[in-house]
Structure 1
Amino acid sequence: MASIKDVAKMAGVSVATVSRVLNNKGYVGQDTREKVESSILELNYKPNEVARSLFKKQSNTIGLIVPDIMNPFFPELARAVEDTAIKLGYNVILCNSDANREKEQAYLDVLQQKYVNGIIVSSNTLTADQIIEINIPVVSIDREISKGLPTIVVENKKGAIAATRFLKSKGCKRIAHIRGTDGIVNAEERCEGYKEVVDQELWFGESYIVNGNYEMQSSIKATLELLSQHPEIDGIFAANDIMAIGAMKAAHQLGKKVPDELSIIGFDGISLSAATIPELTTIVQPIYELGEKATTLLVNLMEQKSVEKTYFKFDVELIERNST
């Protein structure tokens, strides 16, 4: 593999001159530049990006920290971030934090050591003070970290209200909720939306709400317990699609037919929701647009372009399929 010294030797110039050509900094005569560029092509020289990032204190790289790569929502989001970043001239480093505070901080430290230009993060543990300490642009996605920080979210409460009202419109008389992880802003908002629709019902009680922790296995277990305690339940709003799919599996284990005996609606609109049997009715987030907007906003901040707005709340859409 050719080195920068090999390029300099072939072109008959100094290593410093080659470096100026590569980084497009400092004066280099046109004849000399053409010699260097010709030597680079002939030798198929590839600059050492690690060395360049150390020199420039930048790497043309974006960090993306997500809490659970096993949840299909986040790989779909990551795809949008990667597609957009590449179009804008940046690479992406993907980090899976498992929603663990120590792991998130460790990734923040590593990403800074790699001289990433900015970070997109989905976190319920990071604070505004931690973000400020990073001293590079950060955009929060899917959940709000703090007021005033660049943020991309959706109408969580509005979507939850629509989901619960839809179940009522389909004739459901006892509607339960499988909520997301305690303390996560979007889980709280979706639970609030559900409660707003049902909390005046005579039958409603807190036992109609169970925690599925945004995971399929947790949702299966929670749904089995829920339906055993309340066999009268005929509708379930799950706070994400993965938990809704878990609820369908639990219903199948109990011999309950979906949607004849139990209607189920999810939230997210992941691709998998259209592949289940029956296909899942869901509140669809514009996942690709979320990732695209977050990346575009981050790059504008990194490149110190004029940014008029740093908080975006996208609308959601109810897609009816066969689970209701």
Structure 2
Amino acid sequence: MATIRDVAKQAGVSVATVSRVLNSNGYVNNETKKKVDEAIRQLNYKPNAVARSLYKKTSKTIGLIVPDIVNPFFPELARAVEDTAHKKGYNVFFCNTDENVEKEEHYLEILLQKYVDGVIVASNTLTAEKVKELNIPVVSIDRKITAEIPTVVVKNKEGAQKATSYLKEIGCERIAHLRGPHHIDNANERADGYLEEVGSAPWFQSSYIADGNYVMKTAIQATVELLERHPEIDGIFAANDVMAIGAVKAAHRIGKMVPEELAIIGFDGISMAEATTPELTTIAQPIYDMGTAVTDLLVKLIEKKPVERTFLELKVELIERESTRKQNNNKGGREHGAKDHSSRQY
């Protein structure tokens, strides 16, 4: 493998001159620069990335830490982050923690060793103190850490209210909720939105809320138990699309027809929601916009550019599909929820 000394020898110049060409630092006349560039091409020289990052005080790389790569929301988010970072001249290190604190700390150490310029995190465990210790820009996506850390989220509570209200509008009279983990802010906000809509209803029982933990397998079992315990349930709001798909599978397993006997709505707007049978009605997050916004924010912080807002709360959108029946307040005359791709923004 060629070294910077080999390039200098081939071009007939000093190592310092090659360094100035590589780093665009200091004057080098055009003829000399051409000789160095030609030597680099002939020798297929690859500069040491770590050495250059130490010299330039930047590596043009960022880290992206997510809690669950199995959840389709995060790969879709990662795609937006990578696209945006690439356009801005940055590469992305992708890390999956599996909700494991030790893995998260391990990845943070590795990212620091790689001299990343900043980190995007979706974390339930990272503290403000830890972020301060990193001594590089950090932004949070999907989940809030503290008010001091720049964050991009969506209107979770409002979206949950709209999901539950929509189920009421189409005639559902007993609405259950598959909630996410209790230690995750957005899961609690979505549960709060559900309770705002039905918590004071005379029919409401706390046992209408089941823990799905944002996991399909868990949601299938939780839904089976819900429907066996409360056969009167005719609507389910699941706090993410993965659990909503699990609810559809559970209904099929016990012979409950969706949407004729049970309307189901999710939250996220992942692409998989259109591939299910029936297609899933959902409260869609602007996933790509979230990834773009959080990456823009991080790069501005890295490059010390002005940042107008450090907390972004984006709107969500109701997308009506086949897993909910068409709006009809006459319970006896419900129609099958045929495809309806109309949408409402909130």
- 1:90 aligns with 90
Q: Distance in 2 between matches of 1:55 and 1:220?
A: 54
Instruction: Name the counterpart of 1:201.
Output: 201
**1-structure distance, mates of 2:87, 2:46:** 21
| Equivalent residues in 2 for 1:139-288, closer than 5 Å | 139-288=139-288
Q: Deviations over 1:179-229 (max 9, x none)?
A: 001110000000000000001111111101011110101111111111111
Deviations 1:126-161 (A, max 9, x none): 111111111100110001111121000000000000
Which structure 2 residues correspond to residues 279-318 of structure 1 after superposition, within 5 A? 279-318=279-318
Shift of 1:26: 2.9
| Paired letter, 1:22 | L
Three-state SS of the structure 2 residue aligned to 1:93 is strand
Correspondence 1:125 to 2:125: yes
Question: Does 2:23 match 1:23?
Answer: yes
**Partners in 2 of 1:33 and 1:307 — Cα distance?**
38
Moved more, 157-166 or 4-13: 4-13
CA deviations on 1:64-120 (whole Å, 9 max, x unpaired) are: 000000000000000000000000000000000111122111111111111000000
3-state secondary structure, aligned to 1:65: strand
The answer to which of 16-25 and 270-279 deviates more is: 16-25
So what's the TM-score if we normalise by structure 2?
0.91
* Mean Cα deviation higher: 98-107 or 153-162: 98-107
Q: Distance in 2 between matches of 1:102 and 1:26?
A: 45
Secondary structure of the equivalent of 2:322? coil
**Quick one: percent identity of the two aligned structures?**
66
Distance 1:247 1:112 in 2: 41
Structure 2 unaligned residues grouped into runs of 5+: 325-346
Q: Which amino acid aligns with 1:18?
A: V
Q: CA deviation at 1:57?
A: 4.5
Amino acid of the structure 2 residue aligned with 1:306: P
For 1:312 and 1:252, locate their aligned partners in 2 and report how far apart those are by CA, in whole Å.
Answer: 39
- The whole-number CA distance in structure 1 between the counterparts of 2:220 and 2:191 is 18
Aligned-partner Cα distance in 2 for 1:96–1:125: 14
Rounded to whole Å, the distance in 2 between the matches of 1:214 and 1:57 is 40
Matched residue of 1:250: which SS? Answer: helix
Distance 2:42 2:314 in 1: 50
CA distance in 1, matches of 2:261, 2:217: 22
| SS at 1:160 equivalent | helix
1:26-69 CA distance string (max 9 Å, x none): 33333322211222223332222233234444321010000000
Cα distance in structure 2, aligned partners of 1:152 and 1:225: 35
Which residue of 2 is the match for residue 60 of structure 1?
60
> Is the aligned partner of 1:46 residue 2:80?
no
**How far apart, CA to CA, are the structure 1 residues paired with 2:287 and 2:170?**
27
Q: Which runs of 5+ in 1 are unaligned?
A: none
Amino acid in the other structure paired with 2:123 = S
CA contact (8 A) 2:50 2:115 kept: no
1:246-266 per-residue CA deviation (whole Å, 9 max, x = no partner) reads 011011110001001100000
Equivalent residue pairs, number: 324
Superposition misfits of 4+ residues, deviation over 4 angstroms: none
- 2:40 partner SS: helix
Distance 1:291 1:178 in 2: 26
Range moving further from structure 2, 31-40 or 204-213 = 31-40
Match of 1:102 in 2: 102
Q: Counterpart of 1:86 in structure 2: which amino acid? A: H
